[in-house]
Homo-oligomer: A and B are copies of this chain.
Amino acid sequence: MSQAYCTATYRCYDDKADFQKKALGIAVGLTVGSWTDLPEARKAEMEKHLGRVVSVTEHGGAEPGTRCADIVIAYPDVNFSRDLPALLVTVFGKLSMDGRIKLLDLGFSSDFLSAFPGPKFGMDGVREQLGVKERPLLMSIFKSVIGHDLPNLREQFYKQALGGVDLIKDDEILFENPLTPLRKRVEACMEAARQAEAETGQKLLYAVNLTGPTSKLASQAKLAIASGANALLFNVLAYGFDVLHELSADPEINVPIAAHPAMAGAFYPSPHYGIAAPLLLGKLMRLAGADLALFPSPYGSVVMPREENLAVQAALLDPALPVRMSFPVPSAGIHPGLVPLILRDFGTDVVVNAGGGIHGHPMGTAAGGQAFRQAIDATLRGVSLPEAAALPGNEALRAAIDSWGYKQP
Contacts and interface: CB of A to CB of B under 8 A. Distances in A.
Interface of A: 30-34, 45-46, 48-49, 78-81, 83-86, 88-90, 92-98, 100-101, 103, 143-147, 172-173, 175-177, 211-215, 218, 235, 238-240, 242-243, 246, 260-267, 269-270, 272-275, 296, 301-302, 304
Contact of A96 (B84, B146, B175, B263): B263
A273 B262 contact: no
Given A97-B269, A213-B83, A243-B240, A263 B92 contact: yes
Each complex incorporates copies of this chain amounting to 2
Given A32-B147, A238-B240, A266 B274 contact: yes
A317 to B, nearest CB: 22
Contacts of A262: 89, 93-94, 96
A266 B96 contact: yes
30 contacts: A32-B147, A33-B144, A33-B145, A78-B177, A80-B173, A81-B177, A83-B211, A83-B212, A83-B213, A85-B211, A89-B173, A89-B262, A92-B263, A93-B235, A93-B260, A93-B263, A95-B265, A96-B266, A97-B264, A97-B302, A97-B304, A98-B265, A98-B302, A100-B269, A214-B246, A239-B242, A240-B240, A266-B274, A266-B275, A267-B267
A146 B176 contact: no
* Residue with the highest number of chain B CB atoms closer than 10 Å, among A49, A147, A242: A147
Contacts of A267: 266-267, 274
Contacts of A86: 175, 211-212
Nearest to A88: B238
Nearest to A95: B265
A214 B240 contact: yes
A96 B176 contact: no
Nearest to A145: B33
Contacts of A32: 144, 146-147
A92 B264 CA distance: 9
A47 B19 CA distance: 56
A145 B214 CA distance: 31
B261 A266 contact: no
Contacts of A264: 96-97
Question: Which 4 residue pairs of A and B lie closest in terms of their CB atoms, listed nearest first?
Answer: A96-B265, A93-B262, A33-B144, A97-B265
A282 to B, nearest CB: 15
A238 B239 CA distance: 9
Contact of A144 (B34, B173, B177, B243): B34
B215 A215 contact: yes
A83 B211 CA distance: 9
A235 B90 CA distance: 11
A223 to B, nearest CB: 15
B88 A146 contact: no
A146 B273 contact: no
Contacts of A81: 175-177, 211-212
A360 to B, nearest CB: 10
A88 B31 contact: no
A275 B195 CA distance: 45
B266 A79 contact: no
A103 B173 CA distance: 17
